[in-house]
Chains A and B, each alone.
Chain A
Amino acid sequence: MSKQHVSTTINGDEVEFLCEPHQSLLEVLRDELGLTGTKEGCATGDCGACSVMIDGRLVCSCLMLGVEAQGVEVTTIEGIAGADGLHVIQQKYLEHAALQCGICTPGFIVATKALLDRNPDPDETTIRYWLAGNLCRCTGYDKIVRAVQDAAQNLAYEA
């Protein structure tokens, strides 16, 4: 089967790539484009380590084909920090020690961004249910939830 040509936007950059029809977006990001910040923990949509945003919507990139990226805007962990430094979400994850091994962290940060983009003032229950698609085996979630709460407060203050 021949490779497919895909035109897409990744973290604001126009990107073209060739991929096999069976390749997941996760495989394309990691293996073809070198964007290894997005992680594979299960490849079955159960762990959220591969979380990205497609046109602002949170998805598991392991459950989406590379060819489906045609014409959409993809945001990965590599696109969260700006030229002026870390995003406040990233800063708060660091300050709250909301990561231990760090493998789930890119997925959590993308998921947090997707949450706060649509709901700038989530309560604890909302945060916990929104992040329920992302597994963390190190932290017990406590410090992650606190980091998200603090980030939301900071974003509200900045806005």
Chain B
Amino acid sequence: MAEALDLKAIGTRPVRPDGIDKVTGRAAFGADLHLPNMLHGMVLRSPHAHARIKSVDLTRARAAEGVLAAVSGADFPGGAGAGDLAKNVIARDKVLYHGHAVAAVAAKTLLQAEAALDLIEVDYEVLDPVMSLDEAMADGATLVNESQHTNGDTSKPASNVAATQRFERGDLAAGFAEADVVVETEHRVPMAHQGYIEPHACTATANEDGKATVWCCTQGHFDVRSLTAQVLGEKVGNIKVIPSEIGGGFGGKTTIYLEPLAVKMSQMTGRPVKMTMSREDVFRATGPTSGTWCKAKIGAKKDGTFTAASAWLAYEAGAFPGAPIGPGCMSVLAPYEVPNLVIEGNDVLVNKPKVCAYRAPGAPQSMHAMESAIDELARQLDMDPIDLRLKNSAAEGTVAPYGPRFPAIGLRECLEAAKVHPNYTAPVPEGAGRGVAVGFWFNIGMQSSAEVRIAEDGAVTVMEGSPDIGGSRASMALMAAETLGVPYEQVKAHVGDTESTGFCNVTGGSRTTFATGMAVVQACEDIIAQCKQRAALTWDLDEEQVDWVDGEAVPKPGVNADVKPLSLADIARGAGRTGGPLLGRASLNAQGAGASFSCNFTDTIVDTETGKVDVLSFTAVQDAGRAIHPSYVEGQMQGGAVQGIGWALNEEYIYDDNGVMENAGFLDYRVPVASDMPMIDTEIIEVANPFHPYGVRGVGETPIVAPLAAVSNAVRDQLGFRIPDLPLSPPRVLEAIDEQGGH
């Protein structure tokens, strides 16, 4: 458990700095910018899932009323080096999914832009779409990309399998031979979307000197800058990106779609160009997560000790390589000590949108498979599912399947807390089922910078570059207040644009509170060092004779000086006499992002007449390392749980035979609503991450990992048989019940 630090700010639950703007409608999101003379851009999207583009004729569109610019793939020659990214932003030779951008126009009104899209003439040679993993991986499959060879090996024929991954340990056959019980399961989970409520939006203004400013909603404006520059063939320094408030992302806003089109058309017209996606565009043409096909096998001795396990994963990449097979493989057995294992992943092209990150990308699907198999194993061994997991739980010193040895981790603590949780010791409600599963995410560090400025009255301004997607400005301000020894109210945290603050990688990988937080702490330590030096100068002492206690410079114990303590405000006010303004900074590439484990359990009840599954209760226990602002940690756990429940119960991309998504709207792609859900009970475990000054682990992604299997296992518990595939939507559940009834 986390050592008992004497913390004053950290662990409290103040109102977030940006809160008032967000409850009054003042906060400006991606689509909220209106500039004078602004044009409206719109995208023409492919009506085919797979086709060769023979020609694109923009002549009539360009001549249409109100239209000032029209572009197609040919207008982006500079993007040759940007490869797949550029081809995803706007198609060149082929369209690879229904909804793939083919051309764009900018006009004085939205209506004019929309009308002009109808005047663009595109000649397609329609090809067969590849819509499933089975089809894509079959011998003689139609190729999504004729020059794609598995792992770049051109000695073999071209393949839709873009890449493979393999982890291996011990002797798998010998391990299974040692087992008293072996379970094998196979699962399919369709493509699903992050479902952020704010569609992608941007506004670009290009100046006559070639410099462009992009305002957009993104999880990483520095990435938008570099990616947009790549696609345009521009210098990074010519593009400034201002991040708006962001209305959800969950990984889906870590790349670009509209930005290069808007900049290009602004350059062509000398006027600002605003582009927003419709909800339908968001579903059809942004990056959901992979549909998957996973096989899990696990063996154990009678006492529950795992002897061997294997996982085979095939993930849809969509139109371009990049399915999250790496994290899928890393996660699938990470919670356990397994002496013999083989984990294989396949990154497979299909004619669907190019997948993007989605909250713990790849882990929910692979762990759904293995956690389902482990649930069956517990049944066969007649063991409590938590006890079986505890018996094999990874702990400090366990070598993860992907290589490193875990430092302090909190899996056992989560399992033990779940075991004694009142929701677990309570009996399963009459007629219902209970399911347990474990979640994991490794978390990442990466690059961050932060600056801390002190105003003459001691007001602290934290400047950093990690877009605040769920309250991170509050956690930055709390860590700054804690480090400096000042009240939270004295600190304001801001997210700067690409020219007003130092580089930060995307808000993703659950890295912000960990890595950017570490930079903020270090920048505050820089301020403290400067304050001690200024105080020493003021008091005519050596720096080593000054201490910083509770927000004030004081002489160290034993130093003979008859002086009054100097507060941050005192030192800032006199800064002109001691060397100039107080400005602290730090930049780092954070190492040691601690993995976050969870244990979730849920009680569900299936209406066997309709196939509808109701969630009666859901309990999430997770290791946060240290909860800086516990309400927002709980919020991550609750939100991730509900996203995972939605994925387990309803969410899926449904395609027709031509590769057209049939449910590209919130009416038919049904995410959970308030009346679907119970309260989500949370318990935060704090096993400090030794690599963060306050022990922080990322918490944002782990919460979505376990719910898929927890819900599956609960439904299995009630029905007495397993429905291996997701979602457990009424039609699928009803069909399974009918089939079982027929046996």
Is A76 in contact with B25, judged by CB distance below 8 angstroms? Answer: yes
How distant is the Cα of A132 from the Cα of B672 in the complex, in angstroms?
9
**Contact among B23, B31, B634 with A99 in the assembled complex (CB-CB below 8 Å):** B23
**B642–A101 touching, CB < 8 Å:** no
- Indicate the size class of the contact surface on chain B: 35 or more
- B667 near A46 with CB under 8 A, answer yes
Contact with A along B1-42 (1 / 0, CB 8 A): 000000000000101101110111111110110100000000
Within 8 Å of chain A (Cβ to Cβ): is B195? yes
- Are B638 and A140 in contact, CB atoms less than 8 angstroms apart? yes
Residues of chain A within 8 A (CB-CB) of B248 are 100-101, 103, 137-138
Most buried by A among B22, B250, B629, B679: B22
- Report how far A134 CA is from B194 CA in the complex, Å: 17
A-binding segment of B48-56, B196-204, B385-393? B196-204
Question: Does A66 make an interface contact (CB < 8 A)?
Answer: no
Selected contact of A40 from candidates B31, B245, B246, B643, CB within 8 Å: B31
Question: Which residues A122-159 have CB closer than 8 A to chain B?
Answer: 125, 127-129, 131-146
B19, A94: Cβ atoms closer than 8 Å: yes
Q: How far is the CA of A35 from the CA of B638 in the complex (A)?
A: 31
Residues of A within 8 A of B29 (CB): 36, 39, 103
Looking across the interface, which residue of chain B has its beta carbon closest to that of A126? B675
Question: In the complex, what residues of B have CB within 8 A of residue A128's CB?
Answer: 674-675, 677
A34, B640: Cα distance in complex, Å: 34
Q: How far is the CB of B308 from chain A (nearest CB, A)?
A: 37
Is A37 in contact with B24, judged by CB distance below 8 angstroms? Answer: yes
| A72-110 residues at the B interface, CB under 8 angstroms | 76-78, 80-81, 86, 90, 93-97, 99-106, 109
Q: How far is the CA of A44 from the CA of B246 in the complex (A)?
A: 21
Residues in chain B near residue A120, CB distance under 8 A: none
Is A131 a contact partner of B674 (Cβ separation < 8 A)?
yes
Contact present for B631 and A141 (CB under 8 Å):
no
Given A42-B279, A132-B674, A142–B679 Cβ distance below 8 Å? yes
| A140 contacts B25, C-beta separation under 8 Å | no
Q: Contact between A135 and B197 (Cβ–Cβ < 8 Å)?
A: yes
- The CA-CA distance from A90 to B23 in the complex, in Å, is 6
**Closest approach, in angstroms, between the C-beta of A143 and any C-beta of chain B?**
6
Contacts A105-B22, A131-B674; A137 near B195 (Cβ below 8 A)? yes
Chain B residues near A80 (CB, 8 Å)?
24
When distances are taken between beta carbons in the complex, the residues of chain B under 8 Å from A77 are: 24-25
> Looking at the complex, which one of B23, B194, B470, B666 makes contact with A100 (CB distance below 8 Å)?
B470
The answer to whether B197 touches A41, judged by C-beta atoms less than 8 angstroms apart, is yes
Assess whether B569 is interfacial by the CB under 8 Å rule. no
Check: B673 CB closer than 8 A to any chain A CB: yes
SS class, residues of chain A in contact with chain B: loop
B279 to chain A: which residues have CB within 8 Å? 41-44, 46-47
CB contacts between A and B, total, < 8 Å = 188
Contact A101 B24 (CB under 8 A): no
> Is B471 an interface residue, CB under 8 A from the partner?
yes
Instruction: Kindly list chain A residues whose C-beta atoms are within 8 Å of the C-beta of B15.
Output: 94-95
Chain A residues within 8 Å of B199, by CB: 40-41
Question: Is B632 in contact with A97, judged by CB distance below 8 angstroms?
Answer: yes
CA distance A93 to B25 in the complex (A): 13
- With A140-B638, A140-B677, A141-B677 known as contacts, the answer to whether A105 contacts B23 (CB < 8 A) is yes
A49 at the interface (CB under 8 A from B): yes
Tell me if B197 and A136 are in contact (CB < 8 A).
Answer: yes
Tell me if A38 counts as interface (CB < 8 A to partner B).
yes
* B468-499 residues at the A interface, CB under 8 angstroms: 469-471
The chain B residue with its CB closest to the CB of A131 is B674
In this assembly, does A31 line the interface, its C-beta being within 8 Å of a C-beta of chain B? Answer: yes
- Distance A142 CA – B675 CA, assembled complex (angstroms): 11
Q: Which residues of A contact B519 (CB under 8 A)?
A: none
Q: Please, how many angstroms separate the alpha-carbon atoms of A96 and B638 in the complex?
A: 13
Known contacts A36-B28, A41-B197, A135-B197; A140 and B22 CB within 8 A of each other: no
Please determine whether A100 and B471 come into contact, CB atoms closer than 8 angstroms. yes
Expressed in whole angstroms, the Cα–Cα distance for A23 and B22 within the complex equals 26
Minimum Cβ distance to chain B for residue A78 (Å): 5
B250 touches A99 (CB 8 A): no
Give chain B residues whose Cβ lies under 8 Å from the Cβ of A43: 278-279
Please, which residue of chain B has its CB at the minimum distance from the CB of A110? B25
Q: Is B639 an interface residue (CB 8 A)?
A: yes
**CB pair A137 B643 closer than 8 Å:** yes
Q: How distant is the Cα of A132 from the Cα of B15 in the complex, in angstroms?
A: 26
Task: Report yes or no: A44 in contact with B665, Cβ–Cβ below 8 A.
Answer: yes
A13 to chain B, nearest CB (A): 15
Q: A97-B635, A137-B196, A140-B638 are in contact. Are A109 and B23 (CB under 8 A)?
A: yes
Supposing A94-B23, A132-B673, A140-B642 touch, asked if A49 and B16 sit within 8 A by C-beta, the answer is no
Are A49 and B665 interface neighbours, CB within 8 A? no
Residues of B within 8 A of A106 (CB): 23, 25
Whether the Cβ atoms of A141 and B25 lie closer than 8 Å is no
Min distance, Cβ B678 to any Cβ of chain A, angstroms: 9
Q: CA–CA, A131 to B672, complex, Å?
A: 12
B197 near A47: Cβ-Cβ < 8 Å: yes
Instruction: Flag if A135 contacts B666 (CB, 8 Å).
Output: yes
Residues in B neighbouring A133, C-beta threshold 8 A: 673
Counting chain B CB atoms within 10 Å of each CB, which of A81, A96, A143 scores highest?
Answer: A143
Q: What residue of chain B has the Cβ atom nearest to residue A32's Cβ?
A: B34
Complex CA distance for A22 and B111, rounded to whole angstroms: 10
- Cross-chain contact of A140 among B197, B471, B632, B680 (Cβ < 8 A): B680
A40, A129, A135, A141 pick with most chain B CB within 10 angstroms: A141
Interface residue from B23, B111, B197, B250 paired with A103 (Cβ < 8 Å) = B197
A102 to B199 Cα, complex, angstroms = 13
B517 within 8 A of A: no
The answer to whether A101 and B470 have CB atoms under 8 Å apart is: yes
B401 / chain A contacts, CB cutoff of 8 Å: none
Closest beta carbon of chain A to B702's beta carbon, Å? 14
B641 at the interface (CB under 8 A from A): yes
Give the residues in chain A near B677, CB-CB below 8 Å. Answer: 128, 140-142
Question: Given A103-B198, A128-B674, are A81 and B24 neighbors across the interface (CB < 8 Å)?
Answer: yes
Distance (Å) between the CB of B351 and the closest chain A CB? Answer: 25
C-alpha gap A134/B672 in the complex (Å): 10
Residue of A nearest to B640 (CB): A140
The answer to whether B196 touches A101, judged by C-beta atoms less than 8 angstroms apart, is yes
Residue of B nearest to A127 (CB): B674
Which chain B residue shows the least CB distance to A37?
Answer: B25
Are the C-beta atoms of B665 and A46 separated by less than 8 Å?
Answer: yes
Instruction: Please name 7 pairs of A and B residues whose Cβ atoms are closer than 8 Å in the assembled complex, sorted by A.
Output: A36-B31, A39-B29, A40-B199, A76-B25, A128-B675, A135-B673, A137-B196
Extra 19 A-B pairs, beta carbons < 8 Å, given A39-B247, A90-B24, A137-B196: A42-B666, A44-B666, A47-B197, A86-B24, A101-B197, A102-B245, A103-B245, A105-B22, A132-B675, A132-B676, A134-B674, A135-B197, A137-B643, A137-B671, A138-B248, A139-B639, A140-B639, A141-B677, A145-B679
**What are the 8 tightest A-B residue pairs by CB atom distance, in nearest-first order?**
A37-B25, A103-B247, A140-B642, A102-B22, A97-B631, A140-B638, A77-B25, A46-B666
